[in-house]
């Protein structure tokens, strides 16, 4: 039986090394990443809670199977998020023929996170509900929604987003800038309707 405190004191990379020697340590990684990845999958996909749980199971199976191939030069969190991203895309391709409604589980402070970057301060003066933010995000292109989720809700830095999406840093910066502009436009249109 593993000591939970022992898991909490280890870095991701240490847990990977321990898992390669003793598979019981994989439960530490699952416990650490399960809530984060569930939130991420729900935010970027059209999955129901049950479908997201299935996706999460598939993600952890792939992580376990490919743990030997983990590149130590990357952050483990970027690597596991990349696997989650790929699994969501793969699942989307399998189900894209079915009509879907995109869901986004928004934090109330989402607008404040964006505003802290400088461009949308005036738009955050008015408090939006989670449902309103969700609707506004549903009006964004998927590629923009995903970078906003990674940057402002998952709090990933540009390098991590680059690793997850497998895009150059310059492209990530451009995507975030365009996403913020598109989001600001949606916010502005939304305010006109009120």
Q: Residue 104: name the closest of 76, 155, 144, 59 by CA.
A: 144
Q: How far is CA 129 from CA 31, 91, 133, 188, in A?
A: 30, 30, 6, 15
Domain 110-193 part of CATH 1.10.10.10: yes
pLDDT for 110-133, tens place per residue?
A: 554 444 444 443 443 345 666 677
User: Which parts of the chain have pLDDT scores under 50?
Assistant: 99-108, 112-126, 194
DSSP 44-106: HS---HHHHHHHHHHHHHHHHHTGGG--TTS-HHHHHHHHHHHHHHHHHHHHTTS--------
Q: Residue 49: name the closest of 61, 39, 59 by CA.
A: 39
How many CA atoms within 13 Å lie on the side-chain side of 21?
5
In the chain, CATH 1.10.10.10 covers 110-193
pLDDT for 16-30, tens place per residue?
A: 999 999 999 999 999
CATH number for the domain whose boundaries are 10-95? 1.10.1740.10
In the chain, CATH 1.10.1740.10 covers 10-95
Q: Residue 26: name the closest of 41, 9, 12 by CA.
A: 12
- For residue 171, the SS3 value is helix
Tell me what pLDDT residue 19 has.
93
CB 173 within 8 A of CB 63: no
Q: How far is CA 56 from CA 21, 87, 97, in A?
A: 24, 9, 22
């Amino acid at each position: 039986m593993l000591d939970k405190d022992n898991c909490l004191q280890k870095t991701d990379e240490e847990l990977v090394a321990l898992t390669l020697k003793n598979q019981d340590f994989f439960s530490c990684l699952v416990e650490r990443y399960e809530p984060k990845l569930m939130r991420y999958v729900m935010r970027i996909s059209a999955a129901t809670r049950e479908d997201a749980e299935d996706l999460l199971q598939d993600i952890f199976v792939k992580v376990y199977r490919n743990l030997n191939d983990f590149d130590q030069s990357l952050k483990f969190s970027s690597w596991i998020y990349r696997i989650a991203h790929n699994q969501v895309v793969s699942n989307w391709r399998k189900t894209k023929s079915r009509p879907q409604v995109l869901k986004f589980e928004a934090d109330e402070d989402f607008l404040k996170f964006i505003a802290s970057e400088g461009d949308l301060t005036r738009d955050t003066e008015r408090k939006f509900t989670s449902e309103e933010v969700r609707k506004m995000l549903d009006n964004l292109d998927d590629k923009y929604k995903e970078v906003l989720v990674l940057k402002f809700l998952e709090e990933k830095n540009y390098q991590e987003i680059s690793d997850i999406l497998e895009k150059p840093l310059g492209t990530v910066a451009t995507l975030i800038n365009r996403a913020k502009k598109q989001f600001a436009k949606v916010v502005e249109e939304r305010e006109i309707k009120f």
